[in-house]
Structure 1
Amino acid sequence: MSTRLFSGKEIKELYKNPYVTAVSNKGITYTDEFKRIFITENEKGKFPRQVFEEHGFDIDIIGINRVESSGKRWRAAYRKNGIAGLQDTRKVKSGRPNEKELSIEEKYERLKAQNNLLKAEVELLKKIDMAERRLGKKKK
């Protein structure tokens, strides 16, 4: 983590970005969507700084070291676990394993939630694919 602390004004500015879920004086929590966008754009050859700037982040506020370390961390997580590696699991994992046996209803609800998440990911990938196809046609 960077040693640079954000001022109150910088925190307010960062919260304006739709790709930020939380900001403290020490760090930024980015949306899972932005992480996926970052990986997609980076694989197309864009530099981390470019991706951040194109999505409304002020590099002077964030700092280039934070941009590069976030990119490095997300690429490693993506290589290791795919799209699932980019998800923020702090909301769902407390660090303690779930010891109780789940009821049929609880298992069903978990499967429904997992199914909805997969459907949303498929829709996002379809949108990305369509956008790439449109860009490909325009270049020709």
Structure 2
Amino acid sequence: MNNKTRGSSRIFNENEIKQLENNPNVENVTEKSITYSPTFKLAAIKAYKEGQTPMDIFLSAGFDVDVIGRKKPRHCLTRWRNTYNTQGEAGLLEEQRGKGSPGRRSAGELSTEEKLKRAEARIKLLEMENDFLKKLEALEKQKMQR
């Protein structure tokens, strides 16, 4: 593997960026960072609470741990759980990087468009939760039939 690293940060090459961009659980990729979808973050937390390991969660979501780094799943889950525990679902639905910057509006000052975006993200999250629960129920039925 010819990935250059700076400290623990990984530099993604063009092919790796394309691969990551094709994953539906990724919102954005640069050569230095991955922005995961809020719905994936919440689904990952729920799966973790149900006993899945961070590595299993990322593998089943289609991530190549040789590309993102083997420590990334555990690191992300720890960060997301901390955010979830302090800020709830809202903390994961909104990108946190740069959050303390001046000029940022509070939730009460959101435009109609921003409110709509949040509502759409929440709907998507709830739909993913429903799908996740349906799959879990089907798996439990399969186990009962064995």
Shift in alpha-carbon separation, 1:56–1:125, aligned structure 2, 3 A: closer
Distance 2:92 2:82 in 1: 9
Q: What one-letter code is carried by the residue in structure 1 that aligns with 2:12?
A: F
- Selected match of 1:59 from 62, 65, 70: 65
Letter in 2 for 1:84: A
| 2:39–2:124 Cα contact (<8 Å) kept | no
Report whether the alignment pairs 1:6 with 2:7.
no
Does structure 1 retain, via aligned residues, the 8 Å contact 2:43–2:128?
A: no
* 2:26 aligned residue: 20
Work out whether residues 22 and 28 of structure 1, in 8 Å CA contact, stay in contact via their aligned partners in 2. Answer: yes
- Structure 1 regions of 5+ residues with no counterpart? none
**Aligned-pair CA distance for 1:20:** 0.9
Percent identity, please.
31
Q: Go from structure 1 to structure 2 and tell me whether the alpha carbon gap of 1:60 and 1:79 turns closer, same or farther (over 3 Å shift).
A: same
Residue 138 in structure 1 maps to residue 130 in structure 2 = no
Q: TM-score, normalised by structure 1?
A: 0.74
Cα distance, 1:58 vs. partner?
Answer: 0.5
Q: Distance in 2 between matches of 1:8 and 1:111?
A: 32
Counterpart-to-counterpart distance in 2, 1:121 and 1:20: 14
Letter matched to residue 82 of structure 2: A
Q: CA deviation at 1:38?
A: 0.8
Q: Aligned AA for 1:130?
A: K
Give structure 2 stretches of 5+ with no counterpart.
Answer: 1-6
Question: In the TM superposition, what are the counterparts of 1:77-116 in structure 2 within 5 Å?
Answer: 77-89=83-95, 95=101, 96-98=103-105, 109=112, 113=116
Indicate how the Cα distance of structure 1 residues 7 and 118 shifts in structure 2: closer, same or farther if over 3 A, else same.
Answer: closer
TM-score by length of 2: 0.72
Count of matched residue pairs: 134
Task: Give the SS at the match of 2:10.
Answer: coil
Which of 16, 21, 34 does residue 40 from structure 2 map onto? 34
Q: Which has the larger radius of gyration?
A: 1
